[in-house]
Amino acid sequence: MAENSLSRLAAEFKNFLAAQDEDEFIATAAATPAAVSVASVQPQEPAQTAVPPMPEGETLTVEFPRARAREQAAAPAPVQAPAAKETFSPQQDPVLMNTAQKTAALSELADTIKNCSRCPLGATRINAVPGEGNVDADLMFIGEGPGFDEDRQGRPFVGRAGQLLDKMIAAMGLKREQVFIANIAKCHPMTDPLHPEKHGNDRAPNAGEIACCRKYLEQQIAVICPKYIVALGGVSAKALISDAKSLGALRGRFYDLSLDSVKLPRPVKILATFHPAALLRNPGWKKDAWIDLQMVMAELGLKGASK
Ligand code: SF4
């Protein structure tokens, strides 16, 4: 009888191990007739087995994998450490920064741009050209990309076209230091990247390069948050106004600027005009460019250069 009881107990324990789940074991055990009644159990001599005694201080741990899995599923999800925030994100509430915050943010962004190799232009540039100017400017000028001189100096609009832009800014009654000047692409697009030392090796950035670099410009605009932007040339105008029309069709009116990657703290208006390099090639267009700039001057209350 005792041997039979031990066999039943062993069978139950085997079921228990097979169940590997205390609830299932309890249910199984409840459905199984008691192996032995208490009264029927006769005192037994301790069995002489070869099982070594449990070392003092140790405990037996029984694992219930499925029960533990259930507990884990029911437990609240562990709190994840927030991912490192990008400086800007579309979800962030836009705020107007103070001058110190803008300076720090633009400096950090410039460092990122100088180390960027998101597009092939990063491999052939001499210097990245993040942009420069007054971080609190009401007016931004945005061209298409650095050229030969800009690549060498790491500054925007410093060649012949830049000298003309300085004159245009002065004619509006402003100094270069009062505005912010940047480009859509921050590195020099070349027609012949194998010979960066060549003059006349400039080209407009292509759609892929503009797309790669766009977020840097958008972050600059969001930080500076000027009241007005003048897009210099068709490439810049089409990209910023998000309209494929010709420059001639885009000129003559203000557009509400809308950015892809960041929210603006306040509305920004944009106007398209000719690139200074185009005005150097076609001086007859200067009169129309001046009409465009006068539209901005009227909005900003600028009287123009004193005669
Ligand atoms: S052009 Fe813009 S995206 Fe391309 S490498 Fe330069 S900074 Fe980076």
List of residues 6+ apart from 212 with CB closer than 8 A: 118, 119
Instruction: Give the amino acid at 140.
Output: M
Res 242: pLDDT? 94
Q: Is residue 157 in a domain? A: yes
User: Using a 6 Å cutoff on CB, does residue 106 contact ligand 1?
Assistant: no
* Per-residue confidence (pLDDT) for residue 248, from 0 to 100: 97
Q: How far does the chain reach from its first CA to its final CA, in angstroms? A: 122
CA–CA distance, 82 with 129 (Å, rounded to integer): 33
Q: What is the pLDDT of residue 222?
A: 97
Domain assignment present for residue 41? The answer is no
Residue 30 lies in a domain: no
> Is position 167 within any domain?
yes
Which 8-state DSSP code applies to residue 283? Answer: G
pLDDT at 87: 52
Any ligand 1 atom below 6 A from CB of 121: yes
CA 91 to chain centre: 11
- What is the 11 CA–ligand 1 centroid distance (Å)? 72
Does the C-beta of 131 come closer than 6 Å to ligand 1?
Answer: no
Residues in the chain with pLDDT < 70?
1-93, 307
210 touches ligand 1 (CB under 6 Å): no
CA 27 to chain centre: 54
User: Which contiguous run of DSSP H or E holds residue 229?
Assistant: strand 228-232
State the Cα–Cα distance between residues 180 and 141, nearest whole angstrom: 6
User: Ligand 1 in contact with 188 (CB < 6 A)?
Assistant: no
Take residue 195 and report the two structure tokens written for it.
Answer: 């010979």
DSSP per-residue string spanning 176-200? GGGSEEEESSSS--BS-TT-TT-TT
Give the structural domain span for 113. 99-300
Q: How confident is the model at residue 197, as a pLDDT?
A: 84
If one counts every other C-beta atom within 10 angstroms of the C-beta of residue 255, the result is 18
- The residues near 213 (Cβ < 8 Å, ≥ 6 apart) are 118, 119, 121, 184, 185, 186, 187, 205
User: What pLDDT score does 118 carry?
Assistant: 97
pLDDT of the residue at 162: 98
- Predicted pLDDT of residue 246: 97
- Amino acid identity for residue 115 in this structure: N
Cα(111) to centroid(ligand 1), Å: 12
Q: Tell me if 130 CB under 6 Å of ligand 1.
A: no
**Is residue 252 one of the residues assigned to a domain?**
yes
Is the CB–ligand 1 distance for residue 187 below 6 Å? yes
Determine if ligand 1 sits within 6 Å of the CB of residue 72: no
CATH number at residue 135: 3.40.470.10
Separation of CA 100 and ligand 1 centre (Å)? 26
Q: What's the structural domain count of the chain?
A: 1
| DSSP SS3 for 29 | helix
Q: CA-CA distances (angstroms) from residue 174 to 45, 167, 257, 300? A: 107, 10, 23, 11
Is residue 172 within 8 A of residue 293, CB to CB? The reply is yes
Q: Is residue 39 part of a domain?
A: no
For the whole prediction, is pTM greater than 0.85? no
**What is the distance in A from the centroid of ligand 1 to the CA of 39?**
87
Nearest alpha-carbon partner for 225 in 195, 202, 257, 178: 257
Looking at the domain assignment, is residue 76 inside a domain?
no
C-beta separation of 263 from 90 below 8 A? yes
Secondary structure class of 286 (helix, strand, coil)? helix
Q: 3-class DSSP state for residue 236? A: helix
* Atom of ligand 1 at shortest range from CA of 125: 6
In a domain, 70, yes or no: no
151 in contact with ligand 1, CB cutoff 6 A: no
CA of 109 to the centre of ligand 1 (A): 12
Which among 115, 116, 144 is the best mutation to test ligand 1's pocket, defined by most ligand atoms within 8 Å of the CB?
Answer: 116
Span from the CA of 86 to the centroid of ligand 1 (angstroms): 18
What ranges in the chain are assigned the alpha helix state H?
A: 2-19, 22-31, 65-74, 99-114, 121-124, 148-153, 160-171, 207-224, 234-241, 247-250, 276-281, 286-300
